[in-house]
C-alpha cells in the first residue's frame, strides 16, 4: 500500500492502514527514540507513544510535508516528554560563559579522539540538553541537512547551526571531563 493511500485511509478511520504505517516506520522511530533516551525500555515506550500521538493528531498533518519527517518530530518530542515524566532528564547546564570561551579558545581535546569511545558518545548525547540532543541526532543520526532541520523545527538555518555548534561544545565537555557515567546515562 502506498503511504499516501494509507494516510488517506487512516483519515477515513481505517485502523489497518495505520497498522501498515506503524510497520513501515517502526524501525526508524524506535532507533531515534533509542538514541534520544539511551534506554531500550524507554525507547520502546516512547515509540509507542509517538505512534499514538501521530494517530490522534493525524488531522493536523499536512500532506504536503513528508510523513516520516512529521512522525520523527513527534518521536523526538515524545522521547523528551517521557524522560521528563520519568525524572530521567538530566539537563546539562547551558553555560553561556563556557560557550563563549569555547567559541573562541582552543579545544583542549579533539572530539575526533573522544568520539572513538562510541558508547561514551551515545551516553553523552543522551545526557545533552533536549534542544541540543535533538539537533545532534537530526544532523548526525538522521542525516538531515541544516535546511531540513530548520524546516522541521521551525528555526532559522543560522539558529540550527548555532545549536549544533553549542551541542558539540557541550558534548566535548561531557566527554573530556568524564561527566558521563553509567549513573548519568538515562
Partner 1 sequence: MHPEKERLHLYLSGALGPIDHRRVEAHVNDCAECASVLTEMRAEDAALADALKLDAAERRWLDSLDLVAPVMAQIPAAPPTTPLLVLVVVLLSLAGYAGGSLWSTVTGLLPDPGVGSAVSLIRTAGPALLRLLLWLGRGGLLPVIWPVLVIGAGLGAWRAFFTKEARGHA
Which residues contact partner 1 (rule: CB under 8 A)?
13-15, 18-19, 22-23, 26-27, 29-31, 34-35, 40, 44, 47-48, 51-52, 55, 102-104, 110-112, 115-116, 118, 121-122, 125, 136-137, 140-141, 143, 146, 157-158, 160-162, 164-165, 168, 171
User: What is the nearest approach in angstroms of partner 1 to the Cβ of residue 43?
Assistant: 9
CB nearer to partner 1: pick between 44 and 80: 44
Minimum separation from the CB atom of position 103 to partner 1 (A): 4
Please give the Cα distance from 75 to 159 (Å, whole number): 22
From the CB of 4, what's the least distance to partner 1, in Å?
A: 20
Asked if residues 108 and 17 have their Cβ atoms less than 8 Å apart, the reply is no
To which residue does cell 558521563 refer? Answer: 180
- DSSP per-residue string spanning the chain: --HHHHHHHHHTT-HHHHHHHHHHHHHHHHHHHHHHHS-HHHHHHHHHHHHHHHHHTGGG--TTS-HHHHHHHHHHHHHHHHHHHTT---PPP--HHHHHHHHHSPPSS-HHHHTTSHHHHHHHHHTS-HHHHHHHIIIIIS---HHHHHHHHT--HHHHHHHHHHHHHHHHHHHHTT---TTT--
Q: Between residues 87 and 140, which has the closer beta carbon with respect to partner 1?
A: 140
Query: Residue 83 or 171: which CB sits closer to partner 1?
Result: 171
Q: Which is nearer to partner 1, 5 or 87 (CB)?
A: 5
Nearer to partner 1, 48 or 69 (CB): 48
Q: Min. distance of Cβ 59 from partner 1 in angstroms? A: 14
- Considering the complex, state which of residue 76 and residue 164 has its C-beta at the smaller distance from partner 1: 164
The CB-of-146 to partner 1 minimum distance in angstroms stands at 5
Shortest Å distance, C-beta 128 to partner 1: 12
Amino acid at each position: 500500500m502506498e503511504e499516501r493511500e494509507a494516510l488517506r485511509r487512516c483519515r477515513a478511520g481505517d485502523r489497518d492502514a495505520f497498522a501498515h504505517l506503524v510497520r513501515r516506520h517502526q524501525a526508524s522511530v524506535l532507533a531515534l527514540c533509542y538514541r534520544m533516551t539511551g534506554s531500550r525500555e524507554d525507547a520502546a515506550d516512547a515509540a509507542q507513544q509517538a505512534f499514538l500521538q501521530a494517530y490522534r493528531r493525524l488531522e493536523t498533518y499536512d500532506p504536503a510535508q513528508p510523513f516520516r519527517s512529521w512522525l520523527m518530530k513527534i518521536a523526538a518530542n515524545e522521547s523528551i516528554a517521557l524522560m521528563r515524566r520519568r525524572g530521567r532528564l538530566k539537563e546539562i547546564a547551558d553555560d553561556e560563559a563556557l560557550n563563549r570561551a569555547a567559541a573562541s579558545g582552543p579545544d583542549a581535546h579533539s572530539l575526533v579522539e573522544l568520539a572513538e569511545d562510541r558508547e561514551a558518545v551515545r551516553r553523552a548525547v543522551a545526557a545533552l540538553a533536549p534542544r541540543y540532543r535533538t539537533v545532534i541526532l537530526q544532523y548526525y543520526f538522521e542525516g538531515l541537512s541544516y535546511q531540513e532541520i530548520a524546516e522541521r523545527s521551525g528555526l532559522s538555518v543560522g539558529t540550527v547551526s548555532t545549536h549544533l555548534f553549542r551541542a558539540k561544545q557541550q558534548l566535548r565537555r561531557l566527554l573530556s571531563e568524564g561527566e558521563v557515567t553509567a549513573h548519568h546515562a538515562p
